[in-house]
């Protein structure tokens, strides 16, 4: 059955029964007292605070309190945010250009600095995803809705500029007779959805191969992803349990703990260890899960702008790809072509249970409720406040977001979910006893 409760560290997946059990093992319902926090770049309204300004430490999004938020999302290419409420509504805020907030084509160029409910979506929302210029919403009646820029096929439905900003159902996906859809994710100009049977569907811009459909052509309607690597995994009994869209690449998690990748690979974000500009269909990420004996099993994948992160079954995390701001937590700024374990004293005795990959920063959520941040901090997206040294600030090793620690939050409240946008960050805080 559908659960409208967010899961710890999960920003774009709705869990159905046991279909994504590996991801849902750390589930923690936020409960009625859940509170949303945001920080970082806010000059387009993506933080949800009145007044379009940056905030260098996490600040409660007061106007979402009544919505009883169960899921809080953004995306590595996004300058907007979305929240799913216990009332089944979706609230969007941030850059309003191209109708990406779903408030109608007449408001294309209007930014929304306070959360506003999206009208016109039929059915209760259970998940959402933010692309650069479009938004996806998954509803409990097994439909996906889209709104935003109607170019390159990213909306998954035929429409013109005037219709793009009005929510409508994605063509040929889901429905009462289809397998239950399990989640959605959105990149710069592509989209994916996966279902409980393990099928993966993609549509949108094909230039870098991010949809994984074997061509550079744009795809206007959801199409099932295939390819030799996915076919081989399926033949061996593995199924797709989760996917995550980066700016122009996509990560796919399989039930055997292995990971596939497709799309842009110019910074090593596909993790093959081989020089390639792009992969037009799924390829195997080296050294993760699958039949390789001793390879770490992955339970969650996070795709950033040009980097990738994997949360491991053993409580660790690995990262690879672009590292221009230190977002891989390697201690330097050199790109990494294959997955490398994040090694830091801050993880000693801890377990990573979730996280988020943004434009050039990474957030890690620990089982203790602590949040670590690494990478670009120019706009305050690391949540370090006055410890951000300059406008060019970045961190090469993870630092603790002190104002989100249990001691700072008080009582039994702790972070249950984190999300990251292009240059901003979000967290959902709830009573851990709920």
Residue 390: what pLDDT?
A: 56
Kindly state whether residue 295 falls inside one of the protein's structural domains. yes
Residues whose CB falls within 8 Å of the CB of residue 61, separated by 6 or more in sequence, listed in order = 35, 36, 37, 38, 47, 48, 49, 83, 115
Q: How many folded domains does the chain comprise?
A: 1
Kindly state whether residue 210 falls inside one of the protein's structural domains. yes
What CATH number is attached to the domain comprising 130? 2.130.10.30
Residue 411: what pLDDT?
A: 82
Kindly state whether residue 12 falls inside one of the protein's structural domains. no
pLDDT in tens, 393-431: 789 999 999 999 999 998 889 999 999 999 999 999 998
Kindly state whether residue 5 falls inside one of the protein's structural domains. no
Q: Supply the range of the domain harboring residue 74.
A: 35-431
Residue 387: what pLDDT?
A: 58
Residue 161: what pLDDT?
A: 67
Structure-model confidence comparison of residues 60 and 158, the more confident one: 60
Kindly state whether residue 4 falls inside one of the protein's structural domains. no
Residue 32: what pLDDT?
A: 55
Angle at 78 between CA 73 and CA 82, to 5 degrees: 30
Asked if 184 contacts 174 with a C-beta cutoff of 8 angstroms, the reply is no
Residue 27: what pLDDT?
A: 32
Structure-model confidence comparison of residues 278 and 12, the more confident one: 278
Torsion of CA 332, 337, 342, 344, to 10 degrees: -20
Kindly state whether residue 3 falls inside one of the protein's structural domains. no
Residue 20: what pLDDT?
A: 29
pLDDT in tens, 103-128: 976 555 689 999 999 999 999 999 99
Residue 52: what pLDDT?
A: 87
Q: Which of 1-15, 43-57, 302-316 has the lowest mean pLDDT?
A: 1-15
Give the CB-side neighbour count of residue 32, counting CA atoms within 13 A.
Answer: 0
Give the CB-side neighbour count of residue 368, counting CA atoms within 13 A.
Answer: 15
pLDDT band of residue 26 (cuts 50, 70, 90) is very low
366-386 burial: b if 16+ Cβ within 10 Å, else e: beebbbbbbbbbbbbbbbbee
**How do beta strands 190-195 and 307-312 pair?**
unpaired
pLDDT in tens, 337-362: 999 999 999 999 999 999 999 999 99
Three-state secondary structure string covering the chain = CECCCCCCCCCCECCECCCCHHHHCCCCCCCCCCEEEEEECCCCCCCCCCCCCCEEEEEECHHHHHHCEEEEECCCCCCEEEEEECCCCEEEEECCHHHCCCCCHHHCCCCEEEEEECCCCCCCEEEEEECCCEEEEEECCCEEEEEECCCCCCCCCCCCHHHHCCCEECCCCCCCCCCCEEEEEECCCEEEEEECCCCEEEEECCCCCCCCCCCCCCEEEEEECCCHHHHHHHHCCCCEEEEEECCCEEEEEECCCCEEEEEECCCCCCCCCCCCCEEEEEEECCCCCCCCCCCCCEEEEEECCCEEEEEECCCCEEEEECCCCCCCCCCCCCCEEEEEECCCHHHCCCCEEEEEECCCEEEEEECCCCEEEEEECCCCCCCCHHHCCCCCCEEEEEEECHHHCHHHHCCCEEEEEEEECCCEEEEEEEECCC
Residue 23: what pLDDT?
A: 30
Q: What is the pTM of this model?
A: 0.92
Residue 385: what pLDDT?
A: 78
**How do beta strands 200-204 and 190-195 pair?**
antiparallel
Kindly state whether residue 190 falls inside one of the protein's structural domains. yes
pLDDT in tens, 232-274: 999 999 999 999 999 999 999 999 999 999 999 999 999 999 9
What integer best gives the mean pLDDT of the chain? 90
Kindly state whether residue 390 falls inside one of the protein's structural domains. yes
pLDDT in tens, 122-176: 999 999 999 999 999 999 999 999 999 999 999 999 887 678 999 999 999 999 9
């Amino acid at each position: 059955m559908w659960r409208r409760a967010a899961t710890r560290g999960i920003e774009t997946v709705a869990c159905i029964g046991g279909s994504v059990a590996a991801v849902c093992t750390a589930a923690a319902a936020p409960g009625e007292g859940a509170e949303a926090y945001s920080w970082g770049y806010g000059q387009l309204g993506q933080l949800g605070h009145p007044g379009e300004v940056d905030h260098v430490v996490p600040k409660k999004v007061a106007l979402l309190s009544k919505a009883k938020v169960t899921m809080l999302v953004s995306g590595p290419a996004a300058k907007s945010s979305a929240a799913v409420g216990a009332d089944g509504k979706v609230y969007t805020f941030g850059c309003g250009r191209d109708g990406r907030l779903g408030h109608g084509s007449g408001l294309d160029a209007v930014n929304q600095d306070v959360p506003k409910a999206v009208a016109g979506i039929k059915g209760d929302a259970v998940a959402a995803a933010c692309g650069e210029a479009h938004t996806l919403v998954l509803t409990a009646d097994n439909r996906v809705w889209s709104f935003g820029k109607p170019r390159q096929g990213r909306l998954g439905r035929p429409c013109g500029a005037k219709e793009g900003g009005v929510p409508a159902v994605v063509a040929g996906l889901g429905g009462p007779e289809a397998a239950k859809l399990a989640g959605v994710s959105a990149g710069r100009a592509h989209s994916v959805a996966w279902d409980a049977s393990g099928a993966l569907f993609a549509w949108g811009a094909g230039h870098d191969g991010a949809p994984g459909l074997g061509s550079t052509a744009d795809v206007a309607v959801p199409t099932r992803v295939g390819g030799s690597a996915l076919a081989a995994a399926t033949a061996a009994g593995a199924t797709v349990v989760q996917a995550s869209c980066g700016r122009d690449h996509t990560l796919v998690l399989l039930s055997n703990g292995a990971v596939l990748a497709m799309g842009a690979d110019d910074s090593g974000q596909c993790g093959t260890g081989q020089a390639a500009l792009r992969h037009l269909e799924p390829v195997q990420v080296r050294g993760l899960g699958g039949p390789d004996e001793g390879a770490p099993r992955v339970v969650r994948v996070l795709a950033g702008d040009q980097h990738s992160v994997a949360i491991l079954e053993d409580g660790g995390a690995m990262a690879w790809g672009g590292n221009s701001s230190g977002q891989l937590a390697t201690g330097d700024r050199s790109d990494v072509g294959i997955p490398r374990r994040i090694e830091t004293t801050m993880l000693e005795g801890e377990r990573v249970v979730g996280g988020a990959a943004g434009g050039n920063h990474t957030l890690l959520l620990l089982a203790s409720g602590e949040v670590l941040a690494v990478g670009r901090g120019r706009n305050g997206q690391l949540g370090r406040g006055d410890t951000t040294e300059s406008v060019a600030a970045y961190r090469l090793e993870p630092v603790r977001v002190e104002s989100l620690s249990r001691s700072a939050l008080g009582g039994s409240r702790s972070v249950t979910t984190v999300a990251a946008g292009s240059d901003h960050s979000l967290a959902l805080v709830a009573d851990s006893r709920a």
